[in-house]
Structure 1
Amino acid sequence: TPKRAVKFFTFEQYKKLLGLTPLSAGLALSVAGLGSGLTEAIVVNPFEVVKVSLQANRDSFKEARLIINSGGFGLKGLNKGLTSTLGRHGVFNMIYFGFYFNVKDAIPASPDPTLEFMRKFAIGLTSGTISSCVNIPFDVAKSRIQGPQPGPGEIKYRTCFQTMGLVYREEGYVSRRSQPGGDSFFRFHV
């Protein structure tokens, strides 16, 4: 997808650029991941705003026009929830790429193709799991800010950290109202 292309292309560019600095390789990979995530977030956020709005209204062009007409291109329009999206993508990519490449280099490669596949698979799975767990609060905040507000004419979810705090205070760290596909800090079913 174009989103993944942006992620991996920008990661490689930041990695090359940071290779020219005195940063350690491990830190450079994490910072390159952060940079790729922030770049990815800026590119995808307008599409995310429309996507979340489409979950309630199915006409994409009509919905995009409505968002632009009511809020413009700024933080109340197509870039609504940008801080949360920056956090979601930046944190995920920083941890994912930093962890993956540092651990991959620390664990010796295997000459056996099956064992080598399993090594990379396990590192990728662990890296993705940790990254997902850390970025979920940003994802919840993004969905709440970009989605329909609980009451007509009321804006309950305004900013990234205000929304995180509000969700934590009202629903707890592990939401008891979590449903399959629901948006809680962690999608555990209790």
Structure 2
Amino acid sequence: MSGQTSVPNGIKFFIGGVSGMAATCFVQPLDLIKNRMQLSGSKTSTFTVISSILKNEGIFALYSGLSAGLLRQATYTTTRLGIYTWLFEYASQEGQPSFLVKAGIGMAAGCVGAFVGTPAEVALIRMTADGRLRIADRRNYKNVFDALFRIIKEEGLFTLWRGAIPTMGRAMVVNAAQLASYSQAKQVLLDTGYLKEGINLHFASSMISGLVTTAASMPVDIAKTRIQNMKTIDGKPEFKGAIDVLTKVVRYEGLFALWKGFIPYYARLGPHTVLTFIFLEQMTAAYKTNFS
């Protein structure tokens, strides 16, 4: 974007976080459906999950955990953007960074952002999963802050970072896969002449990138989801770690269960990227028009 330097870094981070939050308002139902499918120990489908939610919980249940989704964007996206911008500017002091350096910066930024965003992620997983449980087993968090305070009170502070390692691993995979596949898809579409620079190109590239990223990151994502939702029974957690989750999923549910929730995950990833980009561009343009 031309004139990007006229926007202070603090404003860039703020706009990035708000853009991610705005996009989440549109895709939150897909996040909920994906989480429900990943937590299901049996074979299920997107249609079955949606039908069950609408029948048993009502249409507004599709937005369960929205406050946690918004806090996750406020922490994860803002931190990731801040770290990426800082590292990219540092690496650019001696010229344009190579593709591998950009990928490394993206992975590092995603890793740090994921660590900061893990508490909101834990709350999100639990809040979106609550409706599938029996009434007696539900946690019934009122909102994300109630969830965070209760987790600290009932399970200890460090429970907020349960599943942090697979969450950080997922973020590194997502950032590396997104960066490589988005850049490549955009270049191929431009070279073939089917699309020109603009929102249609960004949308198509995002959807192709989303397909690659979804396939690459879902096994790590399902491990993260189940670890963050697990309960400790008689002092023993359900899973020992990410490898234990993946081993049990493959053993009891089959290899392809590692990609359970693929459709809603993919349907969320591409549009969320596009919507974030649209909001980012519009708010940046508005800032330049009104405050620069």
TM-score, normalised relative to structure 2? 0.52
Ranked by relative contact order (alpha carbons within 8 Å, sequence separation 6 or more), the top structure is: 2
Q: Which residue of the partner structure matches residue 44 of structure 1?
A: 117
1:137 paired to 2:219: yes
Going from structure 1 to structure 2, the CA distance change for 1:116 and 1:50 (only over 3 Å counts) comes to same
Q: Which residue of the partner structure matches residue 172 of structure 2?
A: 90
Shift of residue 59 of structure 1? 2.5
Question: Aligned equivalents of 2:112 and 2:147: distance in 1?
Answer: 25
Shift of residue 172 of structure 1? 1.5
Question: Aligned equivalents of 1:18 and 1:155: distance in 2?
Answer: 43
Question: Aligned equivalents of 2:197 and 2:95: distance in 1?
Answer: 31
Contact 2:91–2:97, Cα closer than 8 Å, also in 1: no
Letter in 2 for 1:63: A
Helix, strand or coil for the counterpart of 1:140?
helix
Question: Aligned equivalents of 1:89 and 1:146: distance in 2?
Answer: 15
The alignment-based identity, stated in percent, is 22
Q: Which residue of the partner structure matches residue 238 of structure 2?
A: 156
After superposition, give the CA deviation of every residue in 1:29-61 in whole Å (9 maximum; x if it has no partner).
Answer: 211110121021011101111222334323244
Question: Aligned equivalents of 1:21 and 1:168: distance in 2?
Answer: 47
1:27 paired to 2:100: yes
Letter in 2 for 1:136: M
Structure with greater proportional helix content:
2
After superposition, give the CA deviation of every residue in 1:82-106 in whole Å (9 maximum; x if it has no partner).
Answer: 0111012111012112332355457
Letter in 2 for 1:186: K
Contact 2:218–2:262, Cα closer than 8 Å, also in 1: no
Question: Aligned equivalents of 1:18 and 1:140: distance in 2?
Answer: 34
Across the two proteins, how many residue pairs are aligned to each other?
177
Question: Aligned equivalents of 2:100 and 2:156: distance in 1?
Answer: 38
Instruction: Give the gaps of 5 or more residues in structure 1.
Output: 176-183
Contact 1:174–1:188, Cα closer than 8 Å, also in 2: no
Going from structure 1 to structure 2, the CA distance change for 1:98 and 1:165 (only over 3 Å counts) comes to same
Letter in 2 for 1:116: E
Contact 2:79–2:113, Cα closer than 8 Å, also in 1: yes
Equivalent of residue 72 in structure 1, options 139, 150, 156: 156
Contact 1:15–1:32, Cα closer than 8 Å, also in 2: yes
After superposition, give the CA deviation of every residue in 1:112-165 in whole Å (9 maximum; x if it has no partner).
Answer: 9x632343332222112211221111211111111144x843522231222122
Q: Which residue of the partner structure matches residue 202 of structure 2?
A: 120
Going from structure 1 to structure 2, the CA distance change for 1:98 and 1:8 (only over 3 Å counts) comes to farther
Shift of residue 78 of structure 1? 0.7
Question: Aligned equivalents of 2:226 and 2:248: distance in 1?
Answer: 11
Q: CA RMSD in A?
A: 3.1
Going from structure 1 to structure 2, the CA distance change for 1:138 and 1:188 (only over 3 Å counts) comes to closer
TM-score, normalised relative to structure 1? 0.75
Question: Aligned equivalents of 2:262 and 2:186: distance in 1?
Answer: 29
Equivalent of residue 187 in structure 1, options 236, 242, 261: 261
Shift of residue 11 of structure 1? 2.4
Going from structure 1 to structure 2, the CA distance change for 1:106 and 1:52 (only over 3 Å counts) comes to closer
